[in-house]
Amino acid sequence: MKKQCPLGEQHPLSEKEEERIYRWIVHGEAEKADAEAWRQYQNWLQESPARAHKASQVDGVWNHPEFEKAARLIGSTLPLDTATPRRYRNPWYLAAAAAGFLVAITVSLLQPSNPSTDAGNRLYATERQQTSRNALADGSTLDMSAQSRVAVDFSERERRIRLYDGEARFTVAKDRQRPFVVESRQASVKALGTVFNVDQRGDITELTVLEGLVSAHPLNRPDKTQHVAAGERVRISGNAIGPVQKFDLHNYSDWLQGLVQVENIRLEELLVEFNRYSDTPLIAGDRHTRNLRVGGTFDLKDIHTNLQILATLHGLTISDSGDEIVLRSNGNSTHSSL
């Protein structure tokens, strides 16, 4: 009887093919893509069962229960910021890094875990439309929005968190001997005992402080540190930090209440929020639509109504192909708030 081989062995992919998959999934090209780029990528995957299999394999690795072991092996070398050494920004390095995740998971499954070592080191992940609450080893609480990935690395001197994707709220247990540091692709946030929310949307990280005081700076510019207190929020890119904005704590609601409140942000950013809870990918189909300034309070449980409201206010058309929903501008929209 002829032995069957896995798809990857029957039809090995070229380095160029693997690189494209890794860049799309691992390095965040999917988040920046417009409707045409999404369509081209999906058509390209469907041309080859081996490509589709590889993409599914890489995409699934992020949510593997043993992923935290692999994340700790190369997490510090992932090209998440422009300060990374040039050799790590080589496109093929991304492919090697993602492959390393897959290999590390395979190895870790064969080795017994050490409870004393792993107690404060975990990776947490949520799926689309899924949220979670997690008690951390130091007594802190990690609340995660949908489609989020967080790596936790606690040591005797420091409690370090890496927000790879999505949004999370941190209720930090007081420990003056061990600072609590959260890093996203763009920002570093440091706290002792406080409650704050970190939302990574494309090339922007938004920090919202609900209790206490934190310090924050762009990941590439620690010299631009800003203190942010309860009732304040700030937006941070890799090299710059925006002005601190105040908000009303008493009327504040967020994803934990099933809502998203935004003020004067690009529609493309709002769609990142919606996509965490949408059954169908939502895409801004042109530059004008992506850059529309929007604001308001939206119900994350009723994405369809949100889109209808936005389309009415901003003169947008909505095209639903079944595989994706694309919003396009009619060229006569203006800024509005709900």
Mean pLDDT by 10 residues, the chain (338 residues): 48 82 72 70 84 76 47 42 37 46 44 45 90 94 95 92 95 92 94 91 92 92 92 92 93 92 92 94 94 93 94 93 91 45
Phi, psi (5° rounding) for residue 203?
A: -100, 15
> What are the residues facing 150 on neighbouring strands?
124, 163
Query: Count of CB atoms within 10 A of residue 181's CB?
Result: 17
CB contact at 8 A, 228 and 207: yes
Taking the CA of residue 84 as centre, how many other CA atoms within 13 Å lie in the half-sphere pointing to its CB? 18
Tokens of 112: 């017994």
Return the residue matching tokens 């069957």: 4
What's the CA gap between 173 and 225, in Å, rounded? Answer: 23
Residue 93 to residues 11, 22, 72, 125, 231, Cα–Cα distance (Å):
22, 10, 17, 24, 41
Question: Distance between CA atoms of 135 and 34, rounded to whole angstroms?
Answer: 37
* In contact, 84 and 76? CB cutoff 8 Å: no
φ/ψ region of 187 (left if φ > 0, alpha if ψ in -120 to 50, else beta) reads: beta
Q: Which residue type, as a one-letter code, is found at position 251?
A: N
Strands 159-171, 180-183: parallel, antiparallel or unpaired by DSSP? parallel
| Helices assigned H by DSSP within 178-242 | none
Contact (Cβ atoms closer than 8 angstroms) between residue 183 and residue 164: no
Nearest to 20 by CA among 48, 45, 46, 57: 45
286: left (phi over 0), alpha (psi -120 to 50) or beta: beta
Query: Rounded to 5 degrees, what are φ and ψ at 286?
Result: -150, 165
Phi, psi dihedral angles at 123 (to 5 degrees):
-120, 130
**3-state per-residue secondary structure call for 121-181:** EEEEECCCCCCEEEECCCCCEEEECCCCEEEEEECCCCEEEEEEEEEEEEECCCCCCCCEE
pLDDT at 60: 57
| pTM exceeds 0.75 | no
Contacts of 93 (CB under 8 A, 6+ apart): 79, 87
Cα 100 to the chain's mean position, in Å? 20
Rounded to an integer, what distance in angstroms lies between the CA atom of residue 41 and that of residue 33?
A: 10
* Whole-angstrom distance, CA of residue 194 vs CA of residue 318: 41
**List of residues 6+ apart from 169 with CB closer than 8 A:** 142, 143, 195, 196, 197, 198, 210, 254, 256
